[in-house]
Amino acid sequence: MKTATWAQIRAGAPRLIASSIAIILSVGFVVGTLALSASFNKTIATAVAAPLEHASVQVKGDRPAKDLAAVRGADHVKAADAVRQSYVGARIDGQRTNAEITSLPDKELRWQKLESGTWPSTPKQITLDKSSAANFHAKVGSTITVMKTTIDRRAQSVNETPVRVTVSGITENAGSVLSAGMVTATMTDAGRSSLDRDPAVNGILVASDGASDSAVSASVSHALDKAGLDASVQTHDQALDASVKQVTGNSDLLTMVVLVFATISLFVAAIVIANTFAVLVAQRTRELALLRCVGASKSQVRRSVYTEAFTTGFLASVIGVLAGYGLAAGVAALSSTGSTGIGLTAPSPNIAHIAIGIVAGVVVTMVAAMMPARRATKVRPVAAMRPVDSVPASSHAGVVRLCIAAVLIAGGSALLVAGALGAGLAAGLPGGVICFVGVLLASSLLVPLAVRGVGSLIAFTGVPGRLAAANAIRNPGRTATTAAALLIGVTLVTTVMVGATSVRGSLVSEVNDKRPVDLIVSTDHGMTAAQTASIRGADHVRDSTVVHGDRQKVGDSHLTLLGLETGTLDRVVHSDKLTPGNSQVIVNPGTAEQLHVQDGDSVPVGPEQRDLTVDVKSQAPDGSALVTAGTLHAMDADAPATQVWLRIDPSLSASDIQDMSSSITKDVPDANVSGGAAERAAYGQVISTMMLVVVGLLAIAVVIALVGVGNTLALSVMERRRESALLRAMGLTKGQLRGMLGLESILVAAVAALLGIGFGVFYGWAGTGAITSSSDLPTLLVIPWGQFGIVLAVAVLAGLIASILPARRATKLTPVEGMSMD
């Protein structure tokens, strides 16, 4: 029996290629994820260790100034300094960016390595990290601009004042991997504090006079206790471990999330493998029966199938492990070419990761082969000595499955609807899982019915179309299983698409309601006609309106009245809530409270104390009141233009808007730019990026499913060689045979895609409702029809491509050769 088994493995190796590809992709996904996670953690550990290079102890407390004074007086302390960091805007080589500026630490604790130039010695000097200097074409002696940040608490605004500083030195990139793409710089403490008087203090570093870390820790703790200060004291190793855990906590979560998608890929691969072995067992019915006739027992037949599955799973898993490490190495190498110039540490082989990959691949293959192996033992020695097209499933089992599916779909759908209507993710998430499990169980009925319905639409193509539709439902179980793998991937992809676009629509609607103006360019001193014209004529401006302002008495207070041109306002503003009537004044709730008025009250405004009706709207700006332009000019005909409201191109990214804002303010140096466009663009960019990442991860599962479609068709072609030869003998041309097989593959792929899109819309709507129900966001259903068209087109094209090799194999066989095969 062993000889027969190994002979069958060698002879049937080509039929297992698709199953092997599925395992290789899935295992490669798992191992690549684990290898990249380990590489990332190692890179982070190296970066975190940089500031602690010369520190024996790290101290963290709520009162850093007093802590530092106490620490410096402790025994065994050679030097101590606080790590003070400020995050400010900067302009280098004409480009706007953000900078992380660290006060230059004591030379005994300085971890930064100077590559060229000198350390800052005056408040007007700065060092830049090597990558940022290269990216922005800066060098020693260059002049750059950093922003001094001040907060106007009354106006609830942040103001920036440009400060020019000189680059005194260029440093290495050590530790800058944690800066999230920001420029990493150092200045003297006086220079940094002149920009930001409220820095982030990331602990106090302590250098030893030669004593052990534990001795320094004990003496520092004693000094802090003596001073009555409560602070955490950690040795070098303790601080390093804590910092690495803190920084890599989110990366561990990310790894788990990515592994969820890898698990989905393994599940889809299991479906492909199960279908492959089911077809192979059905095709080898006579061979298995012959083995039973010559004395093979049921257990030996079962072991034969398991041996074939184990061999396939093991060899494919080994290749998958190698592919995973190759992928990880490629990503690590590419990371070195990014804008930061900081690469991930090259991944190194890990026994645990290798074992996980091989065990996962083998277990999935063995589990997937269980049902086909069980079916193989049911072959009767004598009854199976004739050709059998397929082994029909038990009707009783089919009825039970459909009943269970109906219960799961009904219960899961009820939970989904409940989650969408207010119960939230606690009901929606398990509801989605339960419902989709029911859908998969019911696929044996849903898919053949859908294939039959869609197949009737291609009957007009003639004989190939009618034959393709008939062949697609000849074995409903096989067709359903093949489509189910693709159904999983397409459903998850479309769910993410609908959810992402709907949540983005909800967020945009919320931003447009609360901050209805895209960009507001404002100044306290007024703008000239030339300046307002320049702003209104800027690139990407769709429409605009000039707003005049003047300080006037409102009730017992003085406020800035903003006069709005109501005739043009609706073309600029996303909401009608900021449009005042001729006898109205719009204020926000805070200003209304300051004026001691409520919505609908009258309040005297202006020098003539004209009574206007108060309209309280949360969208109104702080410290100002909105009236019509006519109302303002009646009070002050010479009120200056203090603001320009802009409606801009909605397709601009957050960085484009930032660049646009910088460009606009060149002609108005003291202008401030605000508005909701940047926030709206940031939301859109984050959600689009997340959607692309998730769809990219799910694409692996879709690719595996499409491999399964081609595999099933290829095995089916082998199974139907005599039938195809008979059709050729009756006049079917090679082109018609290729067309028949192509349409059959397209039919299965298109039906799976259409069903997946339908379920995805429902799950996407329910998921969006569950997410937004726990917040104040409106629930909007946005259907991305264009993206659905791409999904369907890709499925159809992939189905066509999957049929090329099987069709080629079928057409190479002459009618005589095919009819002579047993």
Distance CA 371, CA 361 (A): 17
Alpha helices, H only, 346-418: 351-368, 370-376, 395-418
Question: Is the predicted pLDDT of residue 383 greater than 60, yes or no?
Answer: no
What is residue 337's predicted lDDT score, i.e. its pLDDT?
62
Residue listed under structure tokens 């969408």: 420
Distance CA 471, CA 16 (A): 22
Q: With bands split at pLDDT 50, 70 and 90, how would you rate the model's confidence at 692?
A: confident
Distance CA 215, CA 236 (A): 12
Report strand pairing: 624-628 vs 557-564: parallel
What would the pLDDT profile of 701-712 be if each residue is shown by its tens digit? 788 877 777 777
Question: Is the predicted pLDDT of residue 1 greater than 60, yes or no?
Answer: no
Q: Are 203 and 83 in contact (CB under 8 A)?
A: yes
What would the pLDDT profile of 57-70 be if each residue is shown by its tens digit? 999 988 888 889 99
- Which helix (H) or strand (E) is 80 found in, with range? strand 77-92
3-state helix, strand, coil in the chain (%, to 5): 60, 20, 25
Question: Is the predicted pLDDT of residue 389 greater than 60, yes or no?
Answer: no
Distance CA 398, CA 456 (A): 25
Question: Is the predicted pLDDT of residue 573 greater than 50, yes or no?
Answer: yes
What is residue 4's predicted lDDT score, i.e. its pLDDT?
59
Q: Are 57 and 216 in contact (CB under 8 A)?
A: yes
Q: Which residues pair with 519 in a beta bridge?
A: 646
What is residue 170's predicted lDDT score, i.e. its pLDDT?
94
Tokens of 357: 């990959």
Q: With bands split at pLDDT 50, 70 and 90, how would you rate the model's confidence at 384?
A: low
Average pLDDT of span 593-620: 87
Question: Is the predicted pLDDT of residue 527 greater than 50, yes or no?
Answer: yes
What is residue 103's predicted lDDT score, i.e. its pLDDT?
92
Where residue 203 falls (left for φ over 0; alpha for ψ -120 to 50; beta otherwise) is: left
Q: With bands split at pLDDT 50, 70 and 90, how would you rate the model's confidence at 175?
A: low
Distance CA 123, CA 138 (A): 19
What is residue 509's predicted lDDT score, i.e. its pLDDT?
83
Distance (Å) of CA 414 to CA 292, 332, 408, 429? 50, 46, 10, 12
Q: Which residues pair with 624 in a beta bridge?
A: 560
> Of the candidates 529, 549, 526, which has an alpha carbon nearest to the alpha carbon of residue 537?
529
**What is the overall mean pLDDT for the chain?**
82
What is residue 98's predicted lDDT score, i.e. its pLDDT?
80
Q: Are 448 and 479 in contact (CB under 8 A)?
A: yes
Question: Is the predicted pLDDT of residue 339 greater than 50, yes or no?
Answer: no
- Does the model's pTM come out above 0.85? no
> Of the candidates 797, 751, 747, 794, which has an alpha carbon nearest to the alpha carbon of residue 464?
747
> Of the candidates 9, 561, 724, which has an alpha carbon nearest to the alpha carbon of residue 307?
9
**HEC secondary structure over 488-521:** HHHHHHHHHHHHHHHHHHHHHHHHHHHCCCCEEE
What would the pLDDT profile of 264-293 be if each residue is shown by its tens digit? 778 878 877 877 777 777 666 667 776 767
Q: With bands split at pLDDT 50, 70 and 90, how would you rate the model's confidence at 393?
A: very low
Neighbours of 617 (CB within 10 A): 17
Q: With bands split at pLDDT 50, 70 and 90, how would you rate the model's confidence at 158?
A: low
What is residue 257's predicted lDDT score, i.e. its pLDDT?
62
Question: Is the predicted pLDDT of residue 11 greater than 70, yes or no?
Answer: no
Q: What is the DSSP letter of 373?
A: H
Distance CA 231, CA 333 (A): 42
Give the highest mean pLDDT range of 245-254, 461-470, 587-596.
Answer: 587-596
Question: Is the predicted pLDDT of residue 157 greater than 50, yes or no?
Answer: no
Tokens of 163: 């400060």
CB-based burial of residue 638 (10 Å sphere; 0-12 exposed, 13-18 middle, 19+ buried)? exposed
Distance CA 175, CA 342 (A): 10
Distance CA 121, CA 451 (A): 77
